[in-house]
Amino acid sequence: MAPVLETVGLVKRFGGIAATNDVSLRIEKGARHALIGPNGAGKTTIINLLTGILRPTSGKILLDNEDITAIEPHQRVHRGIARTFQINQLFGELTPIETIGLAVSERMGTGRHWWRLVGRKPEVIDDVVALIEQFRLTDVMYHPTAILPYGKQRLLEIAVAIACRPRVLLLDEPAAGVPDAERHEILATVEALPKDVTVLLIEHDMDIVFSFADHISVLVNGALFTEGKPDEVARDPRVKAVYLGEAIDV
Amino acid sequence: MLTILFDGVAYGMLLFVLACGLAVTLGLMNFVNLAHGSFAMAGGYVTLILVNRQGVPFFAALPMAFLVSAALGALFERTLYVHVYRKPHLDQVLFTIGLVFMSVAAVDYVMGSQQQYIQLPAMLQGPVNLFGINARKYALLIIVICGLLTVALQLTLSHTRFGSRLRAAVDDPRVASGLGIHVNGVFAVTFAVGSGLAGLGGALGAEILGLDPTFPLKFMIYFLIVVTVGGTSSITGPFFASLLLGIGDVAGKYYVPKFGAFIIYTIMIVVLIWRPQGLFARATAR
Amino acid sequence: MAQPLTNEIARYLAARVRWHPLEIAFWLAALASIFLLTNKHLILTEIAVLALFALSLDLILGYSGIISLGHAAYFGFGGYVAGLLAKHGIVTEPVLALIVSGLAAAVLGFVTSFLVLRGSDLTRLMVTLGVSLVLREIANQLDWLTGGADGLQGVVLAPVLGLFPFDIAGHVAYVYSLIVLFVMFLLARRIVNSPFGLSLRSLKGNPLRASAIGIPVNGRLVAIYTVAAAYAGVAGALLTQTTQFVSLDVFSFERSADVMLALVIGGTGYLYGGLIGSILFKLMQDYIANLTPQYWQFWIGLVLVLLVLVGRDRMTNWTTPIRGLFARIGPRGDHLAEGAQAPAADRP
């Protein structure tokens, strides 16, 4: 089966350093694919390359066999790739309704309409409502994002990405920075993502990785170290060595 | 033609001395000081008063211009500017525009609005024959003084402890202060010196650029262009940018008088299309 | 379950864009000024022109985060186009000339918009300033066309819509300017309350996130810059038409600085800031100019310095109740906290 997202020999150099070193990833459709590795391995760089924020020094990126390497970031969203950021990137002054509404209307192609007032398209609002409820943001939906508790902001971060109805969702440490009390909500949300959405997950928390992922790639120093099914990777002594004593419980 | 080149080099070096303070403070504190020209103007008028009204010799008045402008810079920096460092760029712009307006009106009130001329000593007036080039003595003076200043600046930056602290702070203020470098102190000194140099440039430049209360407004764009084209990560960038602009402007105004004034703007636009971070800036994003 | 929520949200969004009583009061007061302040129409016309100019700056500065030091470029361009249209009889009817001038300024805005897309704040400052100075120099050099430093002479305006000739007392000019301002305001209000306008606010706050949800950031910036240029051009044309004169100072840096001050006094990002600020600015300018006609620039500079030192955010807190009333009343009567806001491009 052809992978839905694929990189071919992806390289990214900054000066003399190869942050991404000849990475060839294959992500299958519907997969729950985790990308793990020690700090500084270049995981976020890969996400930035996949989404177009960074241009690769060489190599290709293929979405459903289409070469998207030269395509602008905002256009990749329309092609079906969405991402969340490791540190929340939201619109502080906008409310969750407006934030999600923006993503939905961009997706529906009505985002550039300057002659229509916001809130006049029922199909947009329906979609926004569905997402607000799905992500349990109903009680805070009228508040400016900046005053929301961090856990709610994190949920919004994921909600916004889902609002783009992506084929491939790139989650960059979704539970990062979230207080313990609110973590389970994030994780439950990630678990409940629709099965037809392919998910590439960057995570440090091995509990999440092993409960969620069906395939793991290990990145070390910008290069693919090893990959395989979770139990294969967990048993691999080299992986444990690379993490230097970080216990990996299966 | 060589005369034009000579004049252009003189003009460029003058621009450099005027603008280098702005380049360094911008690179150091990411602070947009549109009032930089006001310090230059101060130096010009101080020299005017000393030379024309007090009979102080020209060469003695020049260091005074430097000192007065540096003192003014230090004063304003410690009392006013320091409150504005953390504010967003828009506020810095509004603040310094306000200072410009105040300085222009104040000088207009005190000195009058007409363009004034410093009485140059006789030995600086007239032409001189330099290796066959027909040059003005005054242009030669500018090249000599500004050249010496540039060398002194470069030596200070590369061979003194203050210089290395300054370079470190420009490169990365957070890391520098983590290393124990007192970044605010470095900035205060740099600001004062930069203002002093601007004042000296204003004094030297009065003859070529003209001296009237609207000086800071007229030349604001020139300083900005030097800094933007030259980048803020070194002083060699602004140096070559100034030369480029100086020669381009003088040559342009001589060969195509109708459009000469546009040369500078054209260079600016072309450079910004080609390399938005400046011709000589390093890739480190700011 | 979803249906009531959908309705509630739809009502909430509709309430947000509904005309607030204060807005209606504002425009009724403006209407009343035609009849009640008949001896002040000359300065009121100046206010209306500045208000439109400030409105155009708010579109790019307040809503989109582009700091421009040279917005007068488009103001002046529109002004000269209008002057030349009138002087040479190319388009004699003022409203039509106004539209043509606006379109011309839009073209100029579009062509120069790419310059503000790239680079840092400093680059934008410099580039926008440079553009206005280039235009000033062009107008200076083409003195056979523009009258150069003396200004464009012989600008004679035909009656508005063929029916209302401009009178010496400036009554027609004021009503004309006010109507133009109102119409342009309505359009701007539509734009900022549209999905497009919302996307502008998003890319001002976080362009990275905006492009990550599919918003073409550069495309939107070009679009709003062009629109703002058109607005500025109409304002400049209005000035020319109501004063029957235009000269090089329409391109001056002082003009760009003055409009920025007017907008900042009133507050950015809610459209009425430019209008209110223009009233305050003109009144202040008038008052100071009466005291010290030659050195009023000093006091304007002082106002700027104090404004920044006191803190624009404290000024914003002063306008927050007003701003809150205009923009933010939700269905449950919540005044959504304007005070609790995250950093945006022009806030620390």
Task: Give the pLDDT band (50/70/90) at residue C315.
Answer: low
- Does residue A48 belong to any structural domain of this protein? yes
| Band of residue B280 on the pLDDT scale cut at 50, 70, 90 | low
Domain count, chain A: 1
Q: What is the ipTM of this complex?
A: 0.89
Please give the pLDDT value at position C107. 97
A113 lies in some domain? no
Sign of CA dihedral B144, B150, B154, B160: positive
Judge whether A104 lies within some domain: no
Who wins on pLDDT, B16 or C332? B16
Please choose, from the candidates B206, B210, B226, B259, the residue with its C-alpha nearest in 3D space to the C-alpha of residue B44: B206
**Would you place residue B278 in the very low, low, confident or very high pLDDT band (cuts 50, 70, 90)?**
low
- Two structure tokens written together for C50: 């500045």
pLDDT at B20 over 80: yes
Q: Is C199 on the interface with A (CB under 8 A)?
A: yes
Would you say residue A226 has pLDDT above 60? yes
**Residue A58 sits in which domain range?**
5-90+164-242
CATH number of the domain where residue A210 is located: 3.40.50.300
Residues of A whose CB is below 8 A from C327: none
As a whole number of angstroms, the distance between CA B251 and CA B245 comes to: 10
Q: Which of A13-17, A39-43, B88-92, C205-209 has the highest mean pLDDT?
A: C205-209
Average pLDDT over residues B133-147: 82
The rounded distance, in Å, linking the Cα atoms of C266 and B237 is 40
Q: Is residue A103 part of a domain?
A: no
What would the pLDDT profile of B267-276 be if each residue is shown by its tens digit?
A: 887 877 777 6
pLDDT (0 to 100) of residue B40: 93
pLDDT digits (tens, 9 = 90+) for C190-240: 999 999 999 999 999 899 999 999 999 999 999 999 999 999 999 999 999
Mean pLDDT of A173-179: 85
Cβ atoms within 10 A of the Cβ of C5, count? 18
> How many CB pairs below 8 A link A and C?
166
Nearest 5°: the CA angle A212, A217, A222 is: 135
pLDDT tens digits, one per residue of C120-131: 777 788 888 889
- Minimum distance, in Å, between the CA of residue B9 and any CA atom of chain C: 23
Q: Which residues of A touch C343 (CB under 8 A)?
A: 92
- Please indicate whether, in this complex, the C-beta atoms of A91 and C206 are within 8 angstroms of each other: yes
Question: Regarding beta strands A215-220 and A223-228, do their DSSP bridges make them parallel or antiparallel, or are they unpaired?
Answer: antiparallel
Q: What is the largest CA-CA distance in chain B?
A: 55
Minimal Cβ distance to C212: which of A77, A94, A145: A77
User: Which residues of C are less than 8 Å from B100 in CB distance?
Assistant: 301
pLDDT at residue number C347: 37
Q: Which residues of C touch B276 (CB under 8 A)?
A: 118-119, 123
A247 found inside a domain: no
Dihedral through CA B70, CA B71, CA B73, CA B77, nearest 10?
A: 140
Q: What CA–CA distances, in Å, run from C63 to A173, C72, C124, C191? A: 32, 18, 16, 11
Percentage of residues in chain B having pLDDT higher than 90: 22
The pLDDT of residue B286 is above 50? no
- Cβ atoms A57, A11 nearer than 8 A: yes
In a mutational test of the A interface, the residue from C5, C59, C186, C213 whose CB has the highest number of chain A CBs within 10 Å is C213
Across the interface, whether the CB atoms of B80 and C129 are under 8 A apart is answered: no
Average pLDDT in chain B: 84
Count the Cβ atoms, other than its own, within 10 Å of residue B230. 29
Interface test with C, best of B25, B93, B110 (most C CBs within 10 A): B93
Partner C, chain A 47-106, Cβ-Cβ below 8 Å: 51, 53, 72-75, 77-78, 82-83, 85, 89-95, 97-99, 101-103, 105-106
Question: For A176, left (φ over 0), alpha (ψ -120 to 50), or beta?
Answer: beta
- Write down all domains in chain B, each with its CATH number in brackets: 2-274 (1.10.3470)
Euclidean distance between the first and the last CA atom of chain B, given in angstroms as a whole number: 40
Question: Which member of C5, C14, C205 has the closest CB to residue A93?
Answer: C205
User: Per-residue pLDDT tens for C323-339?
Assistant: 555 554 333 333 333 33
Query: Do β-strands A66-67 and A58-63 pair in parallel, antiparallel, or remain unpaired?
Result: antiparallel
User: Do A112 and C196 count as a contact with CB atoms less than 8 A apart?
Assistant: yes
B171-213 pLDDT, tens digit each: 777 888 888 888 788 888 889 998 999 999 999 888 888 899 9
What's the one-letter identity of residue A4?
A: V
Is the minimum CB–CB distance between C10 and chain A shorter than 8 Å?
A: yes
Tell me the shortest Cα–Cα distance from C342 to chain A, in angstroms: 5
